[in-house]
Each structure stands twice: as C-alpha cells, then as structure tokens.
Amino acid sequence: MRLVPLGALAFAGLLMLNATAGAQGFAPPPPPSMDEPPPGVDNTARESELPPEYRRQPVFYRSEHPVGTIIVNTADRFLYLVQPNNTAIRYGVGVGRDGFQWGGTHRITRKAEWPDWTPPPEMIERQPYLPRWMAGGPGNPMGAAALYIGTTVYRIHGTNAPETIGQSVSSGCFRLVNDDALDLYRRVPVGTKVVVQHQ
C-alpha cells in the first residue's frame, strides 16, 4: 500500500475525522486469541485482511517529541511516526504478550532488509523447538525489514503472519505487515529515537 499525498481540504477533513475517533476512543483490543505462528509458514497473502483501524494512515497526533520520532503504544497496539503540524503516520502493530511487554526510550542502532533470524538464547530456552537460525525470506518471522532497538534484543520488524497485527503474541518485539515495515524502514535513519509507552 502506497501513502498518497492528501490535498489540504481532504487532509483537514481527515484530521477532523481522526480527532473525533480519538475523542470516542477505539474499542480496547481483544485479549490474545492465537498462539505464535510457527516460523517458516508464509501467511503474507493475508495482509489484505488487515482490519481498517490497523492500516497505515495519517492521523492527528500531538506530541512533545520531535518530528521523526517513533512512538509505540503497546496498550493501543499502534506505532506512530511523528510528522509536522500535530500529525503522525500511524501503523498497526503486534506487541509482546503478557509478561513480555516493556517501555523505555532508545535509538535505532541498525537496519536490515529481509534479515536472517537468529532467536536470542532467552527465546531458545523458552521454546527449544525453534530453529537456531533461519535465512531471510517470506516465511521468516522477521519479515521484509527490521529496525534494531538500542542494545536490546527487541526489534521493529515485518512478519510472516499478518493476522497477528493488533494482537499480543510476541516475545517483546513489535511487528508490522511487510508493506508497513518497508515503508517505515525507508522513512527513518539509524539513530532515530524510539519511545515505547507501556501503561
């Protein structure tokens, strides 16, 4: 999906619509309703089934953080890329399941397209059946692009399982559909500030 520039009038209407939706609030996301899909399974064709509220879109968004900051709200399951004039690009994300959610401020320290996946030792200990390494590709859980967060084991990345967007199933990483992961990858440089808000 490509972000199409909006005319001034259309954008003003969109801001009003989003402001109204924000005032009413979105329904709280459902509790986890699925297990983590197995690695190697390619469900990327299901991106077209993504619910409208989790599709990439410009929204009205006030923030004290500078333009270009990434803000992840784990409760709402949205990632915001701060833009000028009290706006942001909002992406739907999958977040960590109970016990694996976290907050803090970091920087993007590395970027990779179609990255290989090496599960960290902590994940292998919890899930010994996981592969020790998997080459990048459509069935790889890291998806089409990854942004590495500080010195943590966490990443913002694509996914082979778009049905998990809006869910809390991961081990703490933030996943987007592959089109959104690539869009974000192209917009932000290494060094970008990342704020993870967890209430």
Taking the mean position of all CA atoms in its chain, how far away is CA 172?
A: 11
Average pLDDT over residues 44-68: 94
Which residues, in sequence order, are bridge partners of residue 155? 148
CA neighbor of 138 nearest in space, from 66, 71, 47, 36: 47
Structural domains in the chain? 8-23+40-197 (2.40.440.10)
Element (H, E) at 127: none
Catalytic residue among 65, 106, 173, 198: 173
- pLDDT on residue 36: 63
Which residues, in sequence order, are bridge partners of residue 168? 95
As a whole number of angstroms, the distance between CA 180 and CA 77 comes to 14
Whether pLDDT at 19 is above 70: no
Average pLDDT of the chain to the nearest whole number: 83
Average pLDDT over residues 3-10: 42
Catalytic residue among 65, 106, 157, 198: 157
Q: Of all residues in the chain, what percent carry a pLDDT higher than 90? A: 58
CB atoms within 10 A of CB 141: 23
**pLDDT, tens only, 79-138:** 999 999 999 999 999 999 888 889 999 999 999 999 997 877 887 887 788 777 778 788
Average pLDDT over residues 19-43: 54
As a whole number of angstroms, the distance between CA 153 and CA 151 comes to 7
157 is catalytic: yes
As a whole number of angstroms, the distance between CA 174 and CA 94 comes to 6
Is the distance from CB of 95 to CB of 164 less than 8 angstroms?
no
198 is catalytic: no
Return the SS3 of 36.
coil
Read off φ and ψ for residue 164, nearest 5 degrees: -90, -5
Is the distance from CB of 194 to CB of 173 less than 8 angstroms?
no
Whether pLDDT at 2 is above 60: no
